[in-house]
Amino acid sequence: MTAQSSLIDIDQNLFIFRVLHGIKLVKPKLVAQEMQTENSFSTGHTIASLSSLPFNFYFLNADGATLHMNQQCVEICGFQSINDSIGKSLFDVSNQESAAKLINNCNSVISENKIKIFEEENIRKDGASLQFLSVK
């Protein structure tokens, strides 16, 4: 089994709900049920609707491998397509130092269980320097 085939395919129709300090992806048929829970707040967006908004977004698995990203993010990372990005990590597109710093930021959010805002620099393997304001 390849790394790519072991990844889940994210359904573009899933609704995004904020839950405590994270998110939950909910199937359309379960939205009404989810809206009745205490700790859940609907963002009003599906994965597909985020694609039209003017920012980069992506979903990573627990190992840091890409599950999905929007077209803007595909282009800024230097991938050929969304499918080309699936299963790749920051180490595939960034120099070692940049990738390690960015992953450390992700890990601090996970370990502290808090939403954080970062000013980040990513230096791609091709030498391009990218500046980001990231909400994680």
Domain extent listing, the chain = 90-136
The pLDDT assigned to 34 comes to 74
Residue 99: which pLDDT band, with cuts at 50, 70 and 90? very high
pLDDT digits (tens, 9 = 90+) for 45-90: 888 888 778 888 888 887 889 988 989 999 999 899 989 999 999 9
The sheet that has 15-19: what strands, in order across it?
A: 22-26, 15-19, 40-46
Rounded CA separation 29/131 (Å): 39
Confidence check: pLDDT of 32 > 80: no
Mean pLDDT of 14-27: 82
- Of these ranges, 32-41, 43-52, 85-94, the one predicted with the greatest mean pLDDT is 85-94
The residues with which 94 forms a beta bridge, in sequence order, are: 124
Whether residue 130 contacts residue 76, with contact meaning beta carbons closer than 8 Å, is answered with yes
The pLDDT assigned to 3 comes to 41
Rounded CA separation 75/57 (Å): 12
Confidence check: pLDDT of 16 > 70: yes
pLDDT digits (tens, 9 = 90+) for 115-134: 899 999 999 999 999 999 99
Q: Which residue has the higher pLDDT, 24 or 83?
A: 83
